[in-house]
Amino acid sequence: MDNLGCIVGALLYVLASFVFPAWAGWRASQRGFQGWALIAWLSIFIGAGAIGGLLALLNTAEPQAAKAKQQEFDVDGVHYRIESVVSRGEGQNKYLIVLFGASNASTSPQQIDSSRWRARIGASEFLPTRANLGFSRADHTTLNPGLSESQMIVGFNVPPDILQKGTTVRLLIPQNTNTCPSCGTENRPQSKFCARCGSALRPGYASIDLVV
């Protein structure tokens, strides 16, 4: 019977000190937290595997709220407020999910359809996904003038090697006007560069930078 206690004890020790931190490190690595993955793995060698693994697990737990450079902005009379940017999923199914509120700041009803949004990361552009993202929010709605805010969502299917922590994601939102993303100058609808500061324009889209 003493032997059984020994075996169970040894098994728990191996699980807590080696298997758990190795798994936590692998998981952190998959989600783009290379620093925490390294800490979990290194902690195995100094006999603090359980603590290192737990730290990595807690610090890489979902949902990962991200900072947004520009929390609130207006496009065509609609006021948008970014609530959080969440990275979810593993392997080839990694999603960048933007949760936001929208309210109508104009005097006429406004249609919002986030399925027409785009996400640009570096030179790549991503379309919104229709996958069930696990949030009960709308992706399109009609807003009447007034202050009540609709809770909305847009998610993009982004390969995990592209979506790393600290990545800048440029949201492209269809608009009727041609406003400069750098200085805010109104340009002619077909202009490719800002008449005031020379920044490249994306006619037909407003550009919003988020850091995930």
The percent helix, strand, coil of the chain (3-state, each to 5) is: 25, 30, 40
CB of 209 to Zn ion, least distance (A): 15
Cis peptide bond N-terminal to 128, omega within 30: no
- Is residue 194 within the footprint of Zn ion (CB under 5 A)? yes
Q: Which is nearer to Zn ion, 158 or 208 (CB)?
A: 208
CA 177 to chain centre: 26
Interacting span for Zn ion (CB under 5 A) from 21-29, 62-70, 144-152, 192-200: 192-200
When binding is defined by CB under 5 A, the residue of 185, 191, 202, 204 that contacts Zn ion is 185
Interacting span for Zn ion (CB under 5 A) from 8-16, 19-27, 48-56, 181-189: 181-189
> How far apart are the C-alpha atoms of 146 and 108, rounded to whole Å?
10
- Is residue 182 within the footprint of Zn ion (CB under 5 A)? yes
Phi, psi of 105 (to 5 degrees): -95, 0
Work out the burial of residue 79: count CB atoms within 10 Å of its CB; fewer than 13 is exposed, 13-18 middle, 19 or more buried.
middle
Interacting span for Zn ion (CB under 5 A) from 10-18, 29-37, 111-119, 191-199: 191-199
- Is residue 183 within the footprint of Zn ion (CB under 5 A)? yes
Q: Which is nearer to Zn ion, 62 or 186 (CB)?
A: 186
- Is residue 199 within the footprint of Zn ion (CB under 5 A)? yes
Element spanning 170, H or E: strand 168-174
- Is residue 197 within the footprint of Zn ion (CB under 5 A)? yes
- Is residue 195 within the footprint of Zn ion (CB under 5 A)? no
Q: If DSSP codes are grouped into helix, strand and coil, which group holds residue 26?
A: helix
CA–CA distances in Å: residue 12 to residues 8, 18, 55: 6, 10, 19
What is the distance in angstroms between the CA of the first residue and the CA of the last residue of the chain?
Answer: 54
CB of 183 to Zn ion, least distance (A): 3
- Is residue 138 within the footprint of Zn ion (CB under 5 A)? no
Q: Which is nearer to Zn ion, 64 or 191 (CB)?
A: 191
Q: Which is nearer to Zn ion, 14 or 183 (CB)?
A: 183
Residue ranges in contact with Zn ion by CB under 5 A = 180, 182-183, 185, 194, 196-197, 199
